[in-house]
């Protein structure tokens, strides 16, 4: 006899040619090792489907939101840094902001500003 999931002879069925005097296991007995493995596989597959659903529904959207926010913050920081470099190295840009070529853009906020000093990094 075979089942839909297990074609062929069931482990509890007697082998062909076995003598009728031997004890034949019945279907209602404890699960065999194969049955227990099949049940474990089904449980693992079910848990895996739940984990995949959770990752798709909760984790990935949160990672996307946080990544977008982090990229925008990084872009703003890089834009500000580029503006600072441009103001420090381009006298025309300094004049555009109403400063003399040797004047630092943050002179009012930096009392020890000296035009002859090397730029800080």
Mean pLDDT for each 10-residue chunk of the chain (121 residues)? 50 51 63 94 98 97 97 97 91 59 51 50 46
pLDDT the model gives residue 61? 96
Neighbours of 94 (CB within 10 A): 19
| Nearest alpha carbon to residue 37 among 3, 79, 1, 6 | 6
Q: Both tokens of residue 97? A: 């902001």
Residue 88 lies in a domain: yes
pLDDT the model gives residue 99? 56
Query: Which CA distances in Å does 19 have to 23, 24, 26?
Result: 9, 10, 16
Provide the terminal-to-terminal Cα distance of the chain, rounded to the nearest Å: 81
Residue 26 lies in a domain: no
pLDDT the model gives residue 121? 46
Residue 75 lies in a domain: yes
User: Range of 37's domain?
Assistant: 33-95
Residue 9 lies in a domain: no
Residue 8 lies in a domain: no
Residue 69 lies in a domain: yes
Cα 91 from chain centroid (whole Å):
46
pTM score of the predicted model? 0.42
How many structural domains are present in the chain? Answer: 1
pLDDT the model gives residue 89? 87
Residue 17 lies in a domain: no
């Amino acid at each position: 006899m075979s089942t839909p999931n297990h074609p062929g002879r069931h482990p509890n069925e007697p082998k062909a040619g076995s003598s009728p005097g031997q004890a034949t296991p019945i279907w209602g007995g404890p699960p065999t090792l194969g049955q227990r493995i099949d049940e474990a596989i089904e449980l693992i597959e079910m848990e895996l489907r739940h984990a995949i659903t959770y990752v798709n529904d909760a984790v990935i959207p949160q990672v996307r939101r946080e990544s977008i926010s982090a990229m925008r913050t990084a872009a703003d920081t890089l834009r500000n840094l580029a503006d600072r470099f441009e103001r420090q190295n381009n006298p025309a840009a300094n004049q555009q902001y109403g400063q003399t070529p040797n004047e630092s853009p943050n002179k009012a906020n930096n009392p020890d500003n000296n035009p002859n000093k090397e730029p800080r990094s």
